[in-house]
């Protein structure tokens, strides 16, 4: 398990775009910020799996979480 920062911005065209400074290459687009947050974990996991499969080094800022883990959780109001 890894922890990344997800930066979300609204595009002029309407949808929202999520990227992460710790995981370059992660690009998530959704109709709302909530959709970006919902889609990001699976896409990040798939990106990390591909990097490991092809022998690419993981980005230096990407570190496994220690156990026990405390992770902020976003709860829509």
Whether the predicted pLDDT of 13 surpasses 80: yes
In sequence order, the 6+-apart residues with CB closer than 8 A to the CB of 8 are: 16, 17, 18, 33, 36, 37
pLDDT at 46: 96
Pairing status of strand 27-30 against strand 7-10:
unpaired
pLDDT at 68: 67
pLDDT at 74: 76
pLDDT digits (tens, 9 = 90+) for 15-72: 999 999 999 999 999 999 999 999 999 999 999 999 999 999 999 988 888 776 777 7
Q: How far from chain centre, in Å, is Cα 26?
A: 6
């Amino acid at each position: 398990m890894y922890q990344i920062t997800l930066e979300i911005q609204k595009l002029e065209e309407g949808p929202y775009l999520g990227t992460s400074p710790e995981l370059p290459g992660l690009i998530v687009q959704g109709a709302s910020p909530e959709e970006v947050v919902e889609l990001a974990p699976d896409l990040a996991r798939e990106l990390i799996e591909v990097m490991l499969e092809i022998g690419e080094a993981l980005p230096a800022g990407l570190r496994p979480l220690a156990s026990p883990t405390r992770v902020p959780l976003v709860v829509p109001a």
